[in-house]
């Protein structure tokens, strides 16, 4: 049976008090609507329609071609939002998931279980429900004698008896597609909010003798709909715990989960160890047997197996197998380190590649450079890549030695096996196996230091006498 999906993402989210459109607020580094659409895709929905309204362009820009879009120009309720999809899905046969774009904790496993119950029972609709000790603010699930769902009552329309019910509507549904759109034609706005509720479809289907089921999730976190910053923080906490648990069960050692942050799209190989204070985000991929941290910040990086990153910041960089980084290094966009490379303390690298076995041990800047194999770059060496207008490339061949406090003024090439003497400023290319020195010859003036001291002392005495 064909599976379809509708993601409701048109609400303005006034309670967020933010310039950022609500469903684009991130949870563990990924916008809420991205979490929802990912879950929908994992249960093999053939078409996914996102209903957009406020901030439509921003949502479409983020999701791109991963979904189709329908605009809800006026926000007249969830039923009205789903009805806007009729031109796209109204003639389809199959089942349709309806999920709110601000429920980032809903999982693939729960959606699959919801669909399975819906299919087995032959229901016209199946509601995802949760049980809360304090259900205030949520629509209540009212079940009949045979435990089927009879209706859903919104909080503002609850009687005292309804309000005492602890089973709530999560806002996620599975419908027979044809029956969904037929029932939507009968929904009115005769309620406290004067909106067209999608929940009214449930009552309409019951009145028509259709079966309506409810699937009670055992994880109430999946019911969290984020409407303000407090709920956003709560969702972040649940998601973070879920992510850390997944990695630990997958063979990753996390020394202190309470002080470790791992984003939703991060991949980490088995037997890697993550030390406290580490932040790993974006689409970072970390191999097996790596040591990360303490206090490492890694964003959108690829770190190969057996690498070590300690107390450093990496952004859009690649770290080769067996390479060590840090402490206190900064690898910026475009950095690519080969195998067995060493990058030490207070080294910054940007848009540069270092081939296997090369070393930049401390206090250096390597930018816009191509460094060969087994190159040693001494303390304080700099590739001078920017002249105020343009950036230029420095190339260093295999087995070259760059001494301490060397300035390589790009564009410049240092050949294979070349040796650049400490303190040199290199403005011309150095051939293979040549030695380059570019500094003034040292001159020692006998006894002159005493004359300088005597002159300084006399000047100070004159100032005191005047």
Contacts of 335 (CB under 8 A, 6+ apart): 314, 316, 317, 318, 349, 350, 351, 352, 353
Q: Mark whether 428 is an active-site residue.
A: no
- Say whether 9 counts as a known binding-site residue: yes
- Say whether 439 counts as a known binding-site residue: yes
- Say whether 154 counts as a known binding-site residue: yes
- Say whether 11 counts as a known binding-site residue: yes
- Say whether 359 counts as a known binding-site residue: no
- Say whether 160 counts as a known binding-site residue: no
- Say whether 245 counts as a known binding-site residue: no
- Say whether 365 counts as a known binding-site residue: yes
Question: Is 32:101 a contact under the CB 8 Å cutoff?
Answer: yes
- Which one from 54, 283, 362, 428 is the annotated catalytic residue? 362
- Say whether 78 counts as a known binding-site residue: yes
- Say whether 209 counts as a known binding-site residue: no
- Say whether 96 counts as a known binding-site residue: no
- Say whether 348 counts as a known binding-site residue: no
Question: Is 82:202 a contact under the CB 8 Å cutoff?
Answer: no
The CA distance from 129 to 236, in Å, is: 21
Phi, psi of 223 (to 5 degrees): -85, -10
- Say whether 77 counts as a known binding-site residue: yes
| Radius of gyration of the chain, Cα coordinates, nearest whole angstrom | 32
- Say whether 89 counts as a known binding-site residue: no
In the structure encoding, which two tokens stand for residue 29, read together?
A: 């580094």
- Say whether 92 counts as a known binding-site residue: no
- Say whether 138 counts as a known binding-site residue: no
Contacts of 464 (CB under 8 A, 6+ apart): none
The CA distance from 215 to 149, in Å, is: 10
- Say whether 367 counts as a known binding-site residue: no
- Say whether 62 counts as a known binding-site residue: no
- Say whether 445 counts as a known binding-site residue: no
The CA distance from 191 to 371, in Å, is: 70
- Say whether 337 counts as a known binding-site residue: no
Contacts of 196 (CB under 8 A, 6+ apart): 76, 77, 78, 79, 80, 83, 187, 188, 189
CB atoms within 10 A of CB 459: 9
Question: Is 343:328 a contact under the CB 8 Å cutoff?
Answer: no
- Say whether 407 counts as a known binding-site residue: no
- Say whether 465 counts as a known binding-site residue: no
Write the CA distances from 344 to 140, 172, 177, 326, 410, integer angstroms: 59, 51, 60, 5, 23
Annotated binding site for acetyl-CoA: 385-386, 404, 422, 439
Which residue ranges are tagged as binding site for UDP-N-acetyl-alpha-D-glucosamine?
Answer: 8-11, 22, 72, 77-78, 139, 154, 169, 227, 332, 350, 365, 376
Query: Where in the sequence numbering do the catalytic residues fall?
Result: 362
The binding site for Mg(2+) consists of: 102, 227
Binding residues: 8-11, 22, 72, 77-78, 102, 139, 154, 169, 227, 332, 350, 365, 376, 385-386, 404, 422, 439
């Amino acid at each position: 049976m064909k599976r379809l999906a509708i993601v409701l993402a048109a609400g303005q989210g006034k309670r967020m008090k933010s310039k950022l459109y609500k469903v684009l607020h991130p949870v563990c580094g990924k916008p809420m609507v991205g979490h929802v659409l990912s879950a929908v895709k994992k249960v093999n929905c053939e078409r996914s329609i996102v209903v957009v309204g406020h901030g439509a362009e921003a949502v479409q820009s983020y999701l791109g071609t991963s979904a189709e879009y329908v605009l809800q120009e006026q926000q007249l309720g969830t039923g009205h939002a789903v009805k806007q999809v009729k031109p796209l899905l109204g003639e389809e046969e199959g089942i349709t998931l309806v999920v709110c774009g601000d429920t980032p904790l809903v999982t693939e496993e729960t959606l699959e279980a919801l669909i399975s119950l819906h299919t087995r029972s032959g229901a016209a609709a199946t509601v995802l429900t949760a049980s809360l000790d304090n259900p205030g603010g949520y629509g209540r699930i009212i079940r009949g004698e045979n435990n089927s769902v009879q209706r859903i009552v919104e909080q503002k329309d609850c009687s005292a008896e309804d309000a005492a019910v602890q089973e709530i509507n999560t806002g996620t549904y599975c419908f027979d597609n044809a029956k969904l759109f037929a029932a939507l034609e009968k929904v009115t706005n005769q309620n406290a909010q004067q909106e067209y509720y999608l929940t009214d479809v449930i009552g309409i289907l019951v009145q028509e003798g259709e079966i309506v089921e409810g699937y009670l999730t055992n994880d109430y976190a999946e019911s969290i709909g984020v409407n303000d910053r407090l709920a956003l923080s709560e969702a972040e906490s649940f998601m973070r715990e879920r992510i850390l648990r997944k990695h630990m069960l997958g063979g990753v050692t996390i020394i202190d989960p309470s002080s470790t942050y791992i984003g939703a799209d991060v991949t980490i190989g088995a037997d890697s160890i993550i030390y406290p204070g580490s932040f790993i985000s974006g689409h970072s991929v970390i191999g097996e047997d790596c040591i990360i941290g303490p206090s490492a910040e890694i964003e959108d990086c690829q770190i190969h197996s057996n690498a070590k990153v300690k107390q450093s910041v990496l952004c859009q960089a690649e770290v080769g197998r067996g390479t060590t980084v840090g402490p206190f290094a900064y690898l910026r966009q475009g950095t690519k380190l080969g195998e067995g490379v060493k990058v030490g303390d207070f080294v910054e690298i940007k848009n540069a590649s270092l081939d296997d076995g090369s070393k930049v041990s401390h206090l250096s800047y390597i930018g816009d450079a191509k460094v060969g194999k087994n190159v040693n770059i001494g303390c304080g060496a700099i590739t001078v890549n920017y002249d105020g207008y343009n950036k230029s490339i420095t190339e260093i061949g295999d087995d070259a030695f760059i001494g301490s406090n060397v300035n390589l003024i790009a564009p410049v090439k240092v050949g294979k096996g070349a040796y650049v003497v400490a303190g040199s400023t290199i403005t011309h290319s150095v051939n293979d196996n040549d030695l380059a020195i570019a500094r003034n010859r040292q001159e020692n003036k006998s006894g002159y230091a005493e004359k300088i001291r005597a002159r300084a002392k006399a000047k100070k005495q004159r100032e005191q006498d005047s």
